[in-house]
Amino acid sequence: MVEYISVKEFLERQGSGIPLLDIRSPGEYEQGHIPGAISFPLFNDEERKVVGTEYKHSGPEKAFLTGLDYAGKKMSHFVRQASSLHSNELLLHCWRGGKRSESMAWLLSQAGHHCYVLTGGYKAYRKFIRSELDGATNLLVLGGMTGSNKTGMLKEMQNNGVQVIDLEALAHHKGSAFGHINEPEQPTSEQFENDLFYQWDKLDHSLPVWLEDESRTIGKVVLPDTFYENKRNAPLLVVEVPRESRIAHLVEDYAGIDDNYLQDALMRIKKKLGGDNLNTCLQALEEKNYHVVADISLSYYDKAYNYAITSYHERENVFHLPLESTDPVKATEKILTWYTEFSGISLSS
């Protein structure tokens, strides 16, 4: 049996544990896919290109026959692969919910599977999640200068039952010239949006969601425009951590990393540091004096953050919270106390 369903119902059924098969080519899947989807391509990238060219130059009938030549040889493989998932129900989609998903659904339904096909395909899914992310409000933003351990604080807040989305974790980047170090390869901006929605959709939207103060880009990932503006307009709590504590935190984070990565990161900001500061950093790095490297680097990052924060100064929703150190447990206690006083609502579990 084949049944066509909406994006909302499709995602609900995926949440119930039904396997989701992405029928598009491997290249399309890599560019962006629904989190949890299994790549189950009807055509490989080259086959898809050939079929598309046939459609454009010779029409749909010729393209259909060429596609059938490719897919016909793999039909038994598709059935066996689907059977290995041990589910009588399957979710399927292609790009627009057209011939590829229709053909695969027919085949697998003949093998006894109940196939749910996404109406409008992945294109409809993308439109749906962009709309949902555009409506993401009730946000709170945690800001502070580099080395403040904002990520650690957000994790501790999450441990206390607070709703948090870690944008840097989703982007596989810490947001600075050093941010790519010891991180997996970054996703595409498209995949980042899919993963962001996946996190957002699991939360209670009647309660606030905390984010870290990020620029529009995190490494090569670009935040969705409206979501970014919603974040910019949300209340911003800036934690103020003493410089020495921030230096110590940075040294703890980066001292065990291959110095070649650190040198490469310093070269990325050499114009911002200036020649003398760069040379001092490189010499200190050679001597394993990470404290000096962190100290000089902070001079650049502190200046950049102070400049960025000036755009908030005329707004009434910017708040400052002095902290004694980067300790996430103590910081979380103060942050949650601040929020209770600010809103009259307790966020802790």
- Is 94 an active-site residue? yes
For the domain that residue 176 is a member of, what is the CATH number?
3.40.50.300
Domain-located, residue 348: no
DSSP 313: T
Residue 111, token pair as written in the block: 């093998």
Residues 176 and 298 in one domain: yes
In this predicted structure, what is the pLDDT of residue 177?
66
Q: Is residue 169 part of a domain?
A: yes
Average pLDDT in the 186-206 region? Answer: 97
pLDDT of residue 183: 76
Instruction: For the beta carbon of residue 117, count every other beta carbon within 10 angstroms.
Output: 25
3-class SS of residue 221? strand
Section 149-159 average pLDDT:
96
Least confident of 68-77, 140-149, 213-222, 281-290: 68-77
Domain count, the chain: 2
Q: Does 62 reside within a domain?
A: yes
301 inside domain? yes
Type of residue found at 5:
I
Beta bridge partners, 164, equal 210
Question: Final residue of a domain: which of 130, 161, 183?
Answer: 130
Rounded CA gap, 50 and 28, in Å? 15
pLDDT at 242 over 60: yes
Whether residue 325 lies inside any domain: the answer is yes
Do 123 and 33 have their domain in common? yes
In a domain, 328, yes or no: yes
Tokens coding 257: 């990393």
> What's the pTM?
0.91
Q: Are 179 and 168 in contact (CB under 8 A)?
A: yes
Q: Which of 94, 129, 171, 196 is catalytic?
A: 94
Whose CA is closest to 111, among 83, 69, 77? 83
Q: What is the pLDDT of residues 51-88, one digit of tens each?
A: 888 888 888 778 878 877 787 788 999 999 999 999 99
Whether 169 and 223 share a structural domain: yes
In which band, very low, low, confident or very high, does the pLDDT at 348 lie, cut at 50, 70 and 90? low
Report the distance separating Cα 196 and Cα 184, nearest Å. Answer: 17
Q: How far apart are CA 3 and CA 249, in angstroms?
A: 55
For residues 257 and 248, give the distance between their C-alpha atoms in angstroms, rounded to a whole number.
15
Report the distance separating Cα 262 and Cα 220, nearest Å.
Answer: 19
* Whether residues 191 and 63 fall in one domain: no
Q: What percent of the chain has pLDDT over 90?
A: 72
- Residue 315's CB is within 10 A of a number of other CB atoms, namely 11
Q: Are residues 148 and 291 in the same domain?
A: yes
Give whichever of 52-66, 90-104, 111-125, 300-314 has the largest mean pLDDT: 111-125
Q: Is the pLDDT of residue 27 over 90?
A: yes
pLDDT band at residue 17 using 50, 70 and 90 as cut-offs: very high
Q: How confident is the model at residue 98 (pLDDT cuts 50, 70, 90)?
A: confident
Which of 57, 51, 2 is CA-nearest to residue 24? 51
pLDDT of residue 26: 97
